[in-house]
Amino acid sequence: MMTQPPLVVLDLGDVLVRTAPGTQYDRLHTLTGVPAALWARAADDGLTEALELGRIDFPVFVGRLCGRVAAGTPPLKEMRAAFCATLVDLDPLVAEVARELARQDRLLFASNTSEPHWTAIQHLLTQAGIAAPACLSFEIGHRKPSDSFFEVLADTDKRVRDHACFIDDRLEHVEAARRIGMEGVLHRSAPFTAAWLTAIARLGSF
């Protein structure tokens, strides 16, 4: 009997999407005059996690963040632009093969992300012609590497448990995927991941 070609479950940030960490705080410094280090400390003290888990929406996030640094609240549009400044573009090597896997209906995204970031990423995906379903932390209320995230992921597509490969740049996320029976691959570089995905897309196996 012919083996079903595997599903590829792909992380977004720093795998498909190239990022510039810290850029958002530099933008906020330019916008408000408050030092970038103060913004970073305020955002990383559980606040960004709450946003990524969908426990608060972006206007609440902004209000609490500005309150923590004793800054006035700039327009939400400007805050969204600053917050999304970390998202640079799609890596062209990974994007090329991701587009082919999506065309084959063999691609699923799995990401710890927030609504503003996902909205910006969707724009990049649309520009690149990549359309695939996604399991996102802000929508399901769980973040990788929790087992709960991967249980929801498995419920998203039955192929996750049956025959799937998970690719992420965090080892603890890869190990969590392996616990539910997925083939786990650690992203080391864009050429490495693109080559791995190309083999899966062409050969239909790990």
Encode the chain (206 residues) as per-residue pLDDT tens digits.
346 789 999 999 999 999 999 999 999 999 999 999 999 999 998 999 999 999 999 999 999 999 999 888 899 999 999 999 999 999 999 999 999 999 999 999 999 999 999 999 999 999 999 999 999 999 999 999 999 999 999 999 999 999 999 999 999 999 999 999 999 999 999 999 999 999 988 876 56
The answer to whether 36 and 20 have CB atoms below 8 angstroms apart is no
User: Residue 68 carries which side chain, given as an amino acid letter?
Assistant: R
d(CA 162, CA 196): 20
- Class at the top of the CATH hierarchy for domain 23-86: mainly alpha
Please compute, for residue 38, the number of CA atoms within 13 A of its CA located in the half-sphere on the CB side: 14
Tokens 């050969």 belong to which residue? Answer: 203
d(CA 32, CA 72): 8
Please, which residues bridge with residue 9 across strands? 108, 166
The answer to whether 7-16+91-203 and 23-86 have equal CATH topology is no
Tokens 């082919």 belong to which residue? Answer: 100
Can you give the pTM of this predicted structure? 0.94
Which two three-digit tokens encode residue 5? 């070609």
CATH, domain 7-16+91-203, list 3.40.50.1000, 3.40.50.2300, 3.10.20.30, 3.30.43.10: 3.40.50.1000
Q: Provide the residue ranges of all domains of the chain, joining segments of one domain with +.
A: 7-16+91-203, 23-86
Alpha helices in 45-134, H assignment, sequence order: 47-52, 58-68, 76-83, 92-103, 115-128
Relative orientation angle of helices 36-44 and 58-68, to the nearest 10 degrees: 120
Which two three-digit tokens encode residue 203? 């050969």
The answer to whether 108 and 8 have CB atoms below 8 angstroms apart is yes
Query: Taking CA 91 as the corner, what is the angle to CA 86 and CA 94, rounded to the nearest 5 degrees?
Result: 135
